[in-house]
Structure formats: C-alpha cells, structure tokens
Amino acid sequence: MPEVVIVGGGIGGLATAVAFLRQGLRVEVLERSAEITEVGAGLSLWPNALRALDVLGLGDAVRARAVEEGAAGIRDRTGRWLTRIDAEKLRAAYGSPIMLHRADLVDILRSAIPAEALRTGVTVAEARVDGTVVHSAGTSSGDFVVGADGIRSVVRRAVCGEIRPRYGGYTAWRLVVTPHQPVTDMGESWGRGERFGYAPLADGRVYCFATANMPAGTASGGLAELRARFGGWHEPIPALLAAAGNAEVLRHDLYDLPALKTFVAGRIALVGDAAHAMMPNLGQGACQALEDAVVLARVVTRDGDLTAYDRERGPRTRMIAARSRRIGAVAQLSFPPGVALRDALLRAIPGSVQLRSFAPVLDWRC
Ligand SMILES: Cc1cc2nc3c(=O)[nH]c(=O)nc-3n(C[C@H](O)[C@H](O)[C@H](O)COP(=O)(O)OP(=O)(O)OC[C@H]3O[C@@H](n4cnc5c(N)ncnc54)[C@H](O)[C@@H]3O)c2cc1C
C-alpha cells in the first residue's frame, strides 16, 4: 500500500512524488491521461525553483537541458526599451533563471519515479479526508493524499468545497518556432491590451507567447490572428511569426484561483495549481509547485503535521499570486493615456529598484 497517494501527474504531482521518494516513502501517482507528457511550450524556471530542484537531486539534469536566460526586459511594440534587467546583476543577487521545454522537465521528473508508481488512465472522482481516493479503477488509500490535479481539482472539494477559477480578462497563445536566423536575446513587448514574448530554447528553437484582452471563450484565428495582431511589431517578432510555418499554436484563456483559506484538511494537502493557480505574468506557477513539493515532503517526514505546510506555503503563494495578477492588470492596459503613463513610469524606474523588487519571490530557501 502506498504511503502517499498523489492525484495528478503534472509538474506538481511528479515533483511531489520525487520529493517523497527521496524521503523513503512509497508513492502512487494517479493520472487521468493515458501518458505523462506536457504541452508543447517553453517554461521559465527562476532561481527559487532551481533550488527546489536541487533539493530533489535534479537541478543539474534540468540545467543541462536548458538555456540560461541572458539580458531581458520589457519593450514597447516598436522595440524601445521600457525596462532592462542586467543579467549579471540578477545572477549575482539571486542566481540565473533558465528557459527549457516543458516536456524536458516532465521527462526528467518522470524518469526519477519507478514506473510501477505511475498509474495512467486513472481518473479520480473524489478524495476523502480519511485518506481514501475513489477513482475509475477502484479506490486507493494512503496515510496522505496530495491533490496535484490542477486548477479544476476534484481533490480540492474535500478541502474547501467548490471554488471557481476566475477569468483574468485575457487569453494566451503559445508556440515553438524554428527560426530562419538564430535568436539569442529574449524579452517581452507590451502594447495596448496585448503582449508578445520570446525566448530561445537549448536546441535553437524559440518559444513564443502572446496575450490579448478578450472575453472568455472568444474564437481564435490561430497563427493568422497572431500575424495580424503582432506582424507589425519590432523584429524579431514578425520574422518569428513568418518562420512559424504550420507550428502548433496552443491557445488558453487565462484563469487563476481566488486565495484559498487553507491547502489542507485531514490527510489531504493541495499542491501546485490545485492550491494556488496564478496568472502566468511572473512565470512562477510551476516554480511554486516545485517549492510546494519539497516543503510538503519535509513537513510530512518531520512530524506529519500538515498545518505546518499550510502555514509555510499559504502566505507566500498568496503574495506571489496577488503580484502576478497586479502585473497582468498593468501589462494588459489598453486605454491609450493609461498605456502612455505606464510606459513613462516603467522607463523611469531605476534598474536597482527593479532588481530589489524580485527579492521576496526569488530569495526563497528550502
Ligand atoms: C500561458 C502559461 C504560461 C506559463 N508559464 C510559466 C512559466 O514560464 N513558469 C512557471 O513556473 N509557470 C508557468 N505557468 C504555470 C504552470 O504551467 C502551472 O503552474 C503548472 O504547470 C501547474 O502544474 P500542476 O502540476 O500543479 O497542474 P497541471 O499542470 O494542471 O497538472 C494537473 C495534472 O492532473 C491531472 N488531473 C486533473 N484532474 C484529474 C483527475 N480528476 N484524476 C486524475 N488526474 C487528474 C491532469 O491531467 C494533469 O496531468 C504558465 C501557465 C500558463 C497558462
């Protein structure tokens, strides 16, 4: 019998499984998909997440498949810098962020878990505070149950009832492009109610993402819409969109969760998006799931007091989710005088102030 039943085999569930295995506990991961994979897109991992991966013994394997992020910043649609981050100073203060393909991170996490601990094609219907999990293949039970089943978690119902995700007011596209000319820099450009970002991956391909304000559920024209919206922005954005050929374009309306009062009930703990799905503006959703994993395994093996996990993770993830939402509100401004004021203010912020503002998020130690 497993000691820990983990519902969900995404980044949060897999990382939690690795964290418990390293503490010598038996785990079972229940994943509804037939295969454990990730969507075809990039992922930025900040130094706080890399410290969590180091605790899991996987930091170097992840770094080996990633690109260290260099100079970055925010531009306007013409390419004029609004803010710039000095990569050397960032590295000296906190360590370097990296960019990698999501599938690589999932592959590394999955490879650290014995195959018999991973049960795919199993959909969980209910989790109970006594440690029972009801699913499509019967039931499982453990000393602890981890809800790592994402923003629409069913496990969460046993912790805090029905909590509805909130639409953030904008949608996101993601794609991976093989450029005609190498792209070595990275960054994000802000317009009026729209943004476009790009970052090179280790194999020379480039991860691109874009956002635009629109009602939830609006139909999208895929690549044609991206070209219409962003084809007139600064280079290399038009070149990347021209090189995209028939690249698969992922499109998701962006939701987050209102702050939960608690992540734990009885034998159940929530991790990752099930606990604190956040807008992606800080690139911290998966990073926080990795932190959750190491803290939860530490707390459980220390004395099993899940409320200690709640006390440690609740305030931090709430702070980061709130920040991420606020940044999105500024980044997605569309009223022209508001955009002009935003851009002027951003240009006026000294680099040193910017750098210090990262501290509460990036200074995390396990
Ligand atoms: C556009 C965008 C860009 C982002 N960029 C970044 C970034 O650069 N850096 C970063 O750190 N974060 C980023 N994030 C956030 C990050 O993707 C998420 O926070 C992270 O993937 C959450 O992982 P998770 O394992 O908690 O949840 P999920 O990835 O949602 O995994 C949940 C798993 O549970 C399974 N599941 C669900 N229900 C059941 C059930 N009933 N029974 C069994 N299995 C079930 C699902 O199939 C899935 O495999 C981004 C998010 C978006 C939308």
The three-point CA angle 332-338-343 to 5° equals 80
12 lines ligand 1 (CB under 6 A): yes
| Residue spans per domain, the chain | 4-68+102-165+258-332
Q: What is the mean pLDDT of residues 200-214?
A: 96
More confident position, 71 or 291: 291
172 lines ligand 1 (CB under 6 A): yes
Cα of 24 from ligand 1 centre, angstroms: 26
Is residue 156's pLDDT more than 70?
yes
Question: Is 50 exposed, middle or buried, given 0-12, 13-18 or 19+ CB atoms closer than 10 A?
Answer: buried
* One-character DSSP codes across 250-266: EEEEEEE-PPPS-SEET
2: cis peptide before it, omega within 30°? no
Q: What is the mean pLDDT of residues 69-92?
A: 91
Which tokens is 348 given?
Answer: 């006026």
Q: Which of 1-5, 17-21, 248-252, 303-307 has the lowest mean pLDDT?
A: 1-5
The three-point CA angle 233-193-318 to 5° equals 120
Read off the pLDDT band of 144 (50, 70, 90): very high
Q: What is the mean pLDDT of residues 29-57?
A: 95
Contact 158, 129 (CB under 8 A): yes
Question: Is 64 exposed, middle or buried, given 0-12, 13-18 or 19+ CB atoms closer than 10 A?
Answer: exposed
63 lines ligand 1 (CB under 6 A): no
Q: What is the mean pLDDT of residues 204-231?
A: 96
Q: What is the mean pLDDT of residues 353-357?
A: 92
Each residue of 99-142: pLDDT tens digit? Answer: 999 999 999 999 999 999 999 999 999 999 999 999 999 999 99
Is residue 265's pLDDT more than 70?
yes
Question: What CATH code would you report for 4-68+102-165+258-332?
Answer: 3.50.50.60
Each residue of 316-331: pLDDT tens digit? Answer: 999 999 999 999 999 9
Contact 21, 113 (CB under 8 A): yes
Report the nearest atom of ligand 1 relative to the CA of 172. Answer: 1
pLDDT at 1: 65
Strands of the chain, DSSP E: 4-7, 27-31, 42-45, 67-68, 72-76, 81-85, 98-101, 118-120, 124-127, 132-135, 138-141, 144-147, 166-177, 187-190, 194-200, 206-213, 250-256, 264-265, 268-270
- DSSP, res 283: S
pLDDT at 351: 87
The three-point CA angle 37-154-25 to 5° equals 65
Read off the pLDDT band of 220 (50, 70, 90): confident
pLDDT at 217: 97
Residue nearest to atom 24 of ligand 1 (CA): 12
CA-to-CA distance for 114 and 76, rounded, in angstroms?
Answer: 47
pLDDT at 71: 75
Cα of 309 from ligand 1 centre, angstroms: 20
69 lines ligand 1 (CB under 6 A): no
